[in-house]
Structure 1
Amino acid sequence: MSEATREAGGVGAGPGSDGMGTAARPVFPFAALIGQAPLQQALLLAAIDPGLGGVLISGPRGTAKSTAARALAELLPEGQLVNLPLGASEDRLIGTLDIETVLRNGAVRFSPGLLAKAHRGVLYVDEVNLLPDALVDALLDAAASGVNTVERDGVSHRHDASFVLIGTMNPEEGELRPQLIDRFGLMVELQNAFEPRVRQAIVKARLAFDHDPDGFRAAYAQQQAEYVERIHAARAALPQLSFDDAVHERVSALCIDAAVDGLRADLVMLRAARALAAFEQAHAVTVRHVDCVAEAVLLHRRRHDSRGSNQSPPEHDERAHQASGSGAAHDAAAASSPDADWGYLPPEPTATLPVKGVIPLDAKKR
């Protein structure tokens, strides 16, 4: 990153821009985020290992979801943050045939989409729960594999698409389908800040940044540079870290206890623990690393009927059986009672009126 770019408040194509050449604006520093430790950890892990599948951030409005996404983009090599608008088409996302080139030269040429522009940066999707399922599928496929493959309209193209996928959603506006939410690597659930000191600190930091962005950013320049160096070193250290039997046992136990479907949670938890170990410059992945990342991995995968929650204690079962038996006896007695009406109103007599004689019609001749 050049000093000129840093002083301008942005990096590369501009965190906080849409990746379309829009002028960069100053970005709130990642190191200055307050009260967001779980979110910061999840974003750093996804930055170290983009193959985790991205981060889903759930929370109410005004909890700094987009601010954190822009802040992370500044720490990555390209510093690129690409926004995916809700109205984007699948062609705009994955790329398609360059019609202009076909009409002008008759040649088949690939026109890259937003996945190509987000390579080595951050692809940010606000309100991801409102996107069509087809777009979410394409996003998650590319985020997990690091490659975008397009086979359509006479185009056969494949290009690298290694990016950090960050999706945000407000639960009040609807949920993602379980099949899609499970494919996000990590999830963080933000809450409103009701601690007065934390709330005041957040507001003071934001006002200071808005008043003097350059001065505020300068105060965090050293911490920002350390984040960049540690992410770079952690990426290089990933291949040297392996998992021993104790780590595997802990991961399996946590996933079984959460009653998750499939094995994706196990794989993501191992990769996330390895990324954390690399970020901490540890010599090996330990059970502590697993425990530190487990909640972000299991939050959106944990089933409500996980082991133990759907089994009643024996005493409760016995009481329920007895209550059921006494209830059945009461119902049988009520049914045999002559006064039992089962909720129906008793019959009421109605008056009858005389009807004039009816003249019969002749039978039709056949």
Structure 2
Amino acid sequence: MPVPFPFSAIVGQEEMKLALLIGAVDSRIGGVLVFGDRGTGKSTAIRALAALLPKMKVVADCRYGCDPDAEVGVLCAECRGSRSETTPFKTKQVPVPVVDLPLGATEDRVIGALDLEMALTRGEKAFEPGLLARAHRGFLYIDEVNLLEDHLVDALLDVAASGENLVEREGLSVRHPARFVLIGSGNPEEGELRPQLLDRFGLSVEVRTPQDLQTRVQVVRLRDEYERDPAAFTEKWKRKDAKVRKRITDAQALLPEIEVNDQALEQAARLCMALGTDGLRGELTLIRACRALAALEGDKSVEVKHLRRLAPPALRHRLRRDPLDESGSTARVDRVVQELFPA
């Protein structure tokens, strides 16, 4: 198995790295969409984050990786049936799953299907979990997400909305938890994302090819050093990655204590009203992301500086298209932020 590039060694692309860290701190944000030029480190950053995350505790014999400390309603049917107040679950530590969803995957491969081996050898109907089950409590990564087939998009929308995957086929009826952080990347030149799926992403990040000489040289130098000896390069950056990992775990512990006062809520709502975003998902995502950012920075409450910083990634993909405004969505968000929250 190849050694992933260290997260802390990624040069530039600060907005993308921050969005991924926020998604790791609070999975309820709804995932991260990374759109931009080819060769700008999108997939590298996502795989690096996976290697960075601390291990998680799961029920030892659970096929879905249920959290032994979770409420009964969140557990799968097998764990609910075996839960006992007197006998705790047997647990183990496993890496946080990061599951790739290939563009050519069949629907059975994604949502799960009848276990043919069990059916043929034992004559029993059994469920074979799919990629959504494997991604539970982790990350589901879709490269070139804008090229994903419509029937898979529909399946993802259903699961993203409910946090559960319902499979009914070949006489089977199975319901299991499937709560994951959806990470998508792609090149906008190759096609647009369906609006229904676009709205499900909590944060949208734009990445561009670096235009300054020093940054480009540094990227090439570090990548060349990594490719010549991945193990030695990873060891060299091990301490810095450990600091980022501790920052994530500290933020996760601090997250429930972060205050969001009425003033912050009003500022977020005023911002979304000025931009004309549809629905209330913009405000909810913005507040959740700002709470995670405050936790990452060790602050006690959500402040204007957090709203100003996260308004573009939280709202740029929720704007209606204005044919009379030639500026991009990011420029429109920045303009309104400057009007409402002048520095």
**Range into which the TM-score falls when normalised by the shorter chain:** 0.7 to 0.9
- C-alpha displacement at 1:210, in angstroms? 1.1
How many angstroms apart in 2 are the aligned matches of 1:96 and 1:221?
40
Superposition map of 1:237-252 within 5 A: 237-252=254-269
Query: Aligned pair count?
Result: 286
Mapping for residues 1-366 of structure 1, pairs under 5 Å: 24-76=1-53, 77=55, 78-143=95-160, 145-305=162-322
Q: Provide the C-alpha distance between the structure 1 equivalents of 2:51 and 2:130, rounded to a whole number of angstroms.
A: 21
- Looking at structure 1, the residues matched to 267 and 325 of structure 2 have their Cα atoms a distance apart, in angstroms, of 20
- In structure 2, how many angstroms separate the alpha carbons of the residues matched to 1:217 and 1:98? 40
TM-score (norm 1): 0.73
Higher mean alpha-carbon deviation, 297-306 vs 49-58, is at: 297-306
**Which structure: larger Rg?**
1
Quick one: distance in 2 between partners of 1:259 and 1:269? 15
Partners of 1:140 and 1:221 lie apart in 2 by 37
Q: Distance in 1 between matches of 2:158 and 2:116?
A: 26
1:6 counterpart residue number: none
Of 49-58 and 158-167, deviating more is 158-167
- TM-fit CA distance, 1:230: 2.1
> Aligned-pair RMSD on alpha carbons?
2.1
Contact 1:51 1:144 in 2 (8 A): no
The percentage of counterpart residues that share the same residue type is: 51
Relative to structure 1, the CA distance from residue 83 to residue 295 in structure 2 (aligned partners, 3 Å threshold; closer, same or farther) is same
Provide, for residues 239-261 of structure 1, a one-character-per-residue CA deviation record: whole Å limited to 9, x for no partner.
23332111101111111122111
State the distance in 2 between where 1:236 and 1:253 align. Answer: 30
Is 1:127–1:168's contact at 8 Å kept on the other side of the alignment? yes
1:44–1:258 CA distance, 2 compared to 1 (3 A): same
C-alpha distance in 2 between matches for 1:55 and 1:102? 39
Distance 1:103 1:88, change over 3 A: same
Q: CA deviation at 1:153?
A: 3.2
Is the alpha carbon distance of 1:144 and 1:230 closer, same or farther for their aligned partners in structure 2, counting shifts above 3 Å? farther
Deviations 1:87-134 (A, max 9, x none): 101111111222322233333211100112223332211111111123
Change (3 A) 1:216 1:197: same
Q: Counterpart of 1:327?
A: none
Distance change in 2, residues 1:227/1:151 (3 Å): farther
Aligned-pair CA distance for 1:151: 3.2
User: In 2, distance between residues paired with 1:107 and 1:131?
Assistant: 33
CA contact (8 A) 2:160 2:200 kept: no
Gaps of 5+ in 1: 1-23, 311-366
Please list every run of 5 or more consecutive structure 2 residues that lacks an aligned counterpart in the other structure: 56-94, 327-343
Q: Any conservation in 1 of the 2:165–2:176 contact (CA below 8 Å)?
A: yes
Using CA pairs under 8 Å that are at least 6 residues apart, name the structure with larger relative contact order, 1 or 2.
2
Task: Say if 1:74 and 1:80, in contact at 8 Å, map to a contact too.
Answer: no
Q: Distance in 1 between matches of 2:319 and 2:167?
A: 34
Structure 1 CA distance, aligned partners of 2:242 and 2:135? 22
Amino acid at match of 1:179: Q
How far 1:262 moved relative to its partner? 0.9
**CA contact 1:51–1:145 (8 Å) conserved in 2:** no
User: How far apart, CA to CA, are the structure 1 residues paired with 2:171 and 2:250?
Assistant: 42
Q: Taking structure 2 as the reference length, what is the TM-score of the superposition?
A: 0.78
